């Protein structure tokens, strides 16, 4: 059985011309996380790693950014992020409670990438380590 996703009235969002042709920018993307593990700084009171599918929604102001804000996790996919190289795509996942802590971060070159590896460092530095993520859009 898969994930049941209700159809959208209007599946397209506002144009993000950096990544999509005019009229083809999706309003909703899906982020799949796999292989994120518990690191040395993990506390027994914290939730397990976010190894699941998240629905991320296009931002109302920044048309090349999609996000999810939940009770435990936030996810940000930013196709216009400028990091160590120019014009990269950033994926950032943050644990909200008990304090804001990055659980997973990665970026791709060229922009608009859809496959990320966790690049946050060693188990001694973070509560969650390892893993990979994929961003996908449903075929409409």
Residue from 84, 89, 121 nearest 104 by CA: 121
Residue 140: the pLDDT is: 42
Count of CA atoms in the C-beta half-sphere (13 A) of 44: 0
Is 139 a residue whose pLDDT tops 50? no
Report the 10 Å Cβ neighbour count for 23.
7
- Backbone dihedral angles phi then psi of residue 55, each to the nearest 5 degrees: -90, 120
Is 85 a residue whose pLDDT tops 60? no
- Tokens encoding 70: 């939940």
Q: What is the CA radius of gyration of the chain?
A: 15
What is the rounded average pLDDT of the residues 58-64?
A: 91
What is the rounded average pLDDT of the residues 62-68?
A: 90
Is 42 a residue whose pLDDT tops 90? no
Q: Which residues contact 2 (CB under 8 A, 6 or more apart)?
A: none
pTM listed for this prediction? 0.76
Give tens-digit pLDDT for 66-81. Answer: 999 888 888 888 887 6
Give tens-digit pLDDT for 15-38. Answer: 988 888 899 888 988 888 888 888
Residue from 46, 29, 27 nearest 94 by CA: 46
Report the 10 Å Cβ neighbour count for 78.
20
């Amino acid at each position: 059985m898969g994930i049941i996703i209700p159809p959208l009235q209007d599946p397209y969002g506002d144009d993000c011309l950096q990544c999509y042709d005019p009229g083809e920018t999706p309003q909703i993307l899906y982020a799949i996380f796999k292989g994120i593990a518990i690191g040395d700084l993990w506390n027994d009171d914290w939730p397990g790693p976010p190894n699941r599918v998240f629905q991320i929604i296009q931002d109302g102001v920044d048309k090349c950014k999609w996000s999810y804000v939940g009770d435990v996790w936030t996810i940000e996919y930013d196709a216009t992020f400028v990091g160590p190289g120019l014009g990269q795509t950033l994926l950032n996942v943050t644990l909200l409670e008990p304090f804001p802590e990055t659980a997973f971060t990665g970026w791709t070159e060229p922009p608009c990438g859809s496959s990320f590896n966790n690049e946050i460092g060693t188990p001694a530095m973070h509560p969650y380590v390892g893993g990979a993520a994929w961003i996908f859009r449903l075929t409409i």
